[in-house]
C-alpha cells in the first residue's frame, strides 16, 4: 500500500514550458487535492476533486488545470510555466465518509523550479 505518490519529485522548467504533475493514490479515496507550499506561507489550495470526473477551483487556480479521469489519479497541468509558479506542490487525498472533514493524506511533494 503505497498511499499517495507523486511524480516527478523534482523538475526544472524554463518560462513558457508546459508540464504535468501526476498524483496517484491506492486507498480508494474519493477526494483529491492539489496544494502549493511557499516559504513563509501556508499551504494554498489550487484545485480539488470530489470524485472521478469532477474538479473544482481552490484558492489559487490561475495558471493551472486539472483532470480526474480515473478515481486513483489526479493530474495537475501547467500550460505555460512562470517563475511565480516555482514552489513545492503537494497532492492529498481523503476518503468520502466524513466529507471534507476527513483527514487528508499527503504525497511526498514535487519541487518545481521555473527559470
Partner 1 sequence: GQNIDQPTEMTATEGAIVQINCTYQTSGFNGLFWYQQHAGEAPTFLSYNVLDGLEEKGRFSSFLSRSKGYSYLLLKELQMKDSASYLCAVMDSNYQLIWGAGTKLIIKP
Give the residues lining the site for partner 1 (CB under 8 A): 4, 40-45, 58-59, 90, 99-101, 103-109
Are 21 and 5 contacting, i.e. CB atoms less than 8 angstroms apart?
Answer: no
Task: Output the smallest distance, CB 82 to partner 1, in A.
Answer: 23
Nearer to partner 1, 39 or 69 (CB): 39
Nearer to partner 1, 69 or 101 (CB): 101
Nearer to partner 1, 38 or 79 (CB): 38
With the C-alpha atoms ordered 39, 45, 47, 48, is the resulting torsion angle positive or negative? Answer: positive
Task: Output the smallest distance, CB 80 to partner 1, in A.
Answer: 26
Measure the N-to-C terminal CA separation of the chain; round to a whole number of Å. 36
Q: What are the beta bridge partners of residue 52?
A: none
The angle subtended at Cα 77 by Cα 17 and Cα 104, nearest 5°, is: 140
Task: Output the smallest distance, CB 95 to partner 1, in A.
Answer: 13
Amino acid at each position: 500500500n503505497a498511499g499517495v505518490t507523486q511524480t516527478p519529485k523534482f523538475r526544472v522548467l524554463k518560462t513558457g514550458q508546459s508540464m504535468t504533475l501526476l498524483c496517484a493514490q491506492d486507498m480508494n479515496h474519493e477526494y483529491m487535492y492539489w496544494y502549493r507550499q511557499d516559504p513563509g506561507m501556508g499551504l494554498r489550495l489550487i484545485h480539488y476533486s470530489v470524485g472521478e470526473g469532477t474538479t473544482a477551483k481552490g484558492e489559487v487556480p490561475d495558471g493551472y488545470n486539472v483532470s480526474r479521469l480515473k478515481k486513483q489519479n489526479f493530474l495537475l497541468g501547467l500550460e505555460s510555466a512562470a517563475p511565480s509558479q516555482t514552489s513545492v506542490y503537494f497532492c492529498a487525498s481523503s476518503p468520502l465518509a466524513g466529507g471534507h472533514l476527513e483527514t487528508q493524506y499527503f504525497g511526498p511533494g514535487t519541487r518545481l523550479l521555473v527559470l
